[in-house]
Structure 1
Amino acid sequence: MPATDNQGSFLNRISIRRNQFTSMDNNHDQELEDLELFQKHVADRFADLLSIPSPNIPPIPTPNSNSNSNDSSSAAATDSPSAATETQILPPPPLMSISWFRNLLDAFLCCEAEFKAVLVSGRDPSQFSKPPLDRLIPDLLERAVKALDVCNAVTHGVDLVTHWQKLAQIAVTALNQNPIGEGQVRRARKALNTLLTSMVFDDKENANSNFHGKWTERTRSFGRRGAAAASALNSKDRTAGNFRSLSWSVAKSWSAAKQIQAMSSNLVAPRGGESTGLALPVYIMNMIIVFVMWALVAAIPCQERNGLATHFQIPRNLGWAQPIIGLQEKIGEDWKKKEKKGTAGLLEEVQRMEKVANSLVEFSDTFVFPLEEEKAADLAAQVAELAEICEKMEEGLGPLHQQVREVFHRMVRSRAEVLDVVDQVSKLSAPAPY
């Protein structure tokens, strides 16, 4: 009997060890599957932003000329309104437009949520205290703090673009009057000159501006009529101060370009065994954070963008990175061209607004009453285009502002959750006091 008991005990221990190894194998397989899915989802989301057709979208069916038996059914399916609705694929928004950035921030929020699930959910907290996570997690948290500063600056930049939209709307309202006279043209020219002055405003030369007016006071000044409003619009010093205080709430020494440079430094892709572990999703999320913040800074007015990097190193052999590299190259090329001209940013609506505003200012300089029929038609077309831009901005800038704030708060919450896990690990590893 004792021998039998010992034998049973030994077999039980073997069974327990076997179950432990099986459980570890299952957990490892699940972890690999989660990593593969995370990479695939990142690639798919950014491929959509690059306007690359997703392999998951079925092609639009076409009639088969070689099959006579299915001609009638194919024609019926093609002519059916429901079939047309199912196969219709809306064109993607223009790169760097407000709608595109809203899609970009949606993709970021989805990637961030999935990353947190891969990193934290069901994870043994003790892994956070082991290499390589013991050094990668603090680096990720520090990068998130820098991204919060960028979000704050971008939020104020969106406010500035909203102010530009209001100035452009003043010009649209004035030039839509019929008949149009000297007074309307003069009012439109003042608003457009103020708009263009702000767009080419060099924050380096005016870094020591001391004007700190409030947004409500600025908008109210454009609502007043008469000589006081005209004087405010024509004052160059006042204009520079207004837009400085509107856009920048960070320290005068803060630089968006340097912030992005600091965020993109020390980003090294995992190698060897780390390339199949948790180091990989941490690296991917770091790259996503840097890319999204870099794109926002390139498009939205931010303090000190001179010298903004046009690219950062991403290994080309990584499948998930190909769409991000493609977007980086496109945006970087545009930035190289526009930066030399002192542009207000790469936001598509802002670039169009700047072009139309310049054209309308040229028109106002040569305006003669009564307006010739050909010039009136050209003016109407330009005013209609500016009105369309204003409408898109009015519809999109508010939601974009909210999304940037949502990104800000999401990163704050996620950072706090990761810090909680790190604190738990520290408490568990601390020696018991005796």
Structure 2
Amino acid sequence: MAAAEPPPPTGMGFLGLLSFRRSATAVASFDPAQDDELQVLDALQAHVADRLAALSHQPPLLSLAFLSKLLDALLSSDDAFRDVLGIGPVAAALSRPPADRLAADLLDRTVKTLDILNASPTSASPGAGCGLGLALYTMSSVLVFSMWALVAAVPCQDRASAATNPPVAPPKQVQWAAPMSALQERISDEWRKKDKKGSSSGSAATGLLAEMQAVERAARELSSVLEEVAEEEEEEQLVMGVSAERAHDVVERAEALAAACRALEEGLAPLERQVRTVFHRVVASRGEVVRIMEHSTRSNSSATANAAAASGSGAPPHHHSF
């Protein structure tokens, strides 16, 4: 006698569906082609989790090297996402509920991403409890996190407030939630510390970019030494001028400031090139999603018409459990 099929959990929602995706019901309808498709969907989750975990061990946080690795992770995640879009049944499902809503949200976020790259993230619920929905939510979340980190590192005048508002934390059940949440918390902590320090000193926060902070630090130290020298000259009314020791201090601080400025300038050039690459990739990916959605809509309309015409033939259509 065949084993009884387990009932689906009640009130399952998105998180329940994540764990239920490979249930006995799914196994009962298993076929090798669909298993290959699920492997591509799962590969995106594993890839994002691995790249974010690697970033968690990258010191210092929000340095030029960190941002470069983050943008590289965004590009490679986009490659994995395009592999998902290349799956026929997945592409066909892109214009159907519930994936259509998440696809529209992804398109909206790509526009915001292009705006940031060319010069706040809105919260979204991963409401589609399916492999395609999770893939769309994953790519959308990676985009939002990457752009938020860029704004936190080098805030624009009209987006400085966005740096204080981290993206909504992803559900704990997704594979990449822990490393992304940990990075968000670390960046938020650093921003709060800098914002508090800026408020107490009366200066505006200028971003968390490590190399930029090194320039600020060197400039403060040089300014402090120059003020001390001026005070000493005034108090002692030195006739012979600045002592050799004080002159050495001034030269040393000035050289440190020059070195910090060179490191910032030399590091920004390759990062700017990488930002342009990401910009063009996001444009291309958005165009690909739009193209697939339009094609899927036309195909679904045609399939619906054919199904209505053949409604008396009997065999129900097969749908993949994405």
Alpha-carbon distance in 2 for matches of 1:357, 1:93: 23
Q: Secondary structure at the match of 1:129?
A: coil
Aligned with residue 294 of structure 1, among 128, 145, 148: 148
In angstroms, what is the RMSD of aligned CA positions? Answer: 2.5
Contact 1:50 1:326 in 2 (8 A): yes
Matched, 1:96 2:62: yes
Match of 1:41 in 2: 47
Deviation string 1:136-195 (CA, Å, 9 cap, x unpaired) is: 111111111111111112xxxxxxxxxxxxxxxxxxxxxxxxxxxxxxxxxxxxxxxxxx
Once the two structures are superposed, what CA deviation does each residue of 1:390-416 show, in whole Å capped at 9, x if it has no partner?
222222101111111111110101111
Decide which of 112, 125, 146 is 1:268's aligned counterpart.
Answer: 125
2: CA distance, partners of 1:314 / 1:124? 23
Q: Which amino acid aligns with 1:289?
A: L
The alignment partner of 2:93 has SS state of: helix
How far did 1:45 drift?
Answer: 0.8
Paired letter, 2:126: A
The separation in 1 between residues aligned to 2:221 and 2:36, in whole angstroms, is 60
Among 380, 384, 409, the alignment partner of 2:251 is 380
Distance 1:356 1:416, change over 3 A: same
Q: Which residue number corresponds to residue 355 of structure 1?
A: 217
**Hey, what's the Cα distance between the residues in 2 that align with 1:385 and 1:429?**
64
Q: Distance in 1 between matches of 2:301 and 2:41?
A: 31
Q: In structure 1, what is the equivalent of residue 314 of structure 2? A: none
Q: CA deviation at 1:373?
A: 2.8
Give, as a single letter, the amino acid of the residue that structure 1 aligns with 2:54: D
2:178 aligned residue: 322
2:71 equivalent to 1:105: yes
Aligned to 2:168: 312
Kept in 1: contact 2:126–2:134 (CA 8 A) = yes
Checking the alignment, whether the CA contact within 8 Å between 1:310 and 1:335 is kept in structure 2 is no
Matches within 5 A, 1:189-228: none
Partners of 2:84 and 2:90 within 8 A in 1: no
**Cα deviation, residue 93, structure 1:** 4.4
Distance 1:354 1:144, change over 3 A: same
Offset of residue 283 of structure 1: 1.0
Deviation at 1:320, TM superposition (A): 1.5
Corresponding position of 1:64:
none
CA contact (8 A) 1:102 1:400 kept: yes
CA deviation profile, 1:269-327 (whole Å, cap 9, x unmatched) = 346xx24x211111111111111111111111312313630452222333312111111
- Cα distance in 1 for partners of 2:274, 2:37 equals 31
How big is the shift at 1:25?
1.3
- Give how far 1:356 is off: 1.5
The corresponding residue for 2:81 is 115
TM-score, normalised with respect to structure 2 = 0.73
| Alpha-carbon distance in 1 for matches of 2:134, 2:225 | 56
Partners of 2:248 and 2:169 lie apart in 1 by: 50
2:286 maps to which residue? 415
Task: Say if 1:98 and 1:397, in contact at 8 Å, map to a contact too.
Answer: yes
Q: TM-score, normalised by structure 1?
A: 0.55
Distance 2:65 2:249 in 1: 28
- Partners of 2:52 and 2:180 within 8 A in 1: yes
User: How far apart, in 2, do the equivalents of 1:429 and 1:36 lie?
Assistant: 26
Q: Which residue identity is paired with 1:326?
A: A
Larger radius of gyration: 1
Q: CA deviation at 1:110?
A: 0.5
Corresponding residue pairs, total: 260
| Aligned counterpart, 2:9 | none
Per-residue deviation at 1:119? 2.4
Select which of 89, 97, 108 maps to 1:142. 108
One-letter identity of the residue aligned with 1:351: Q
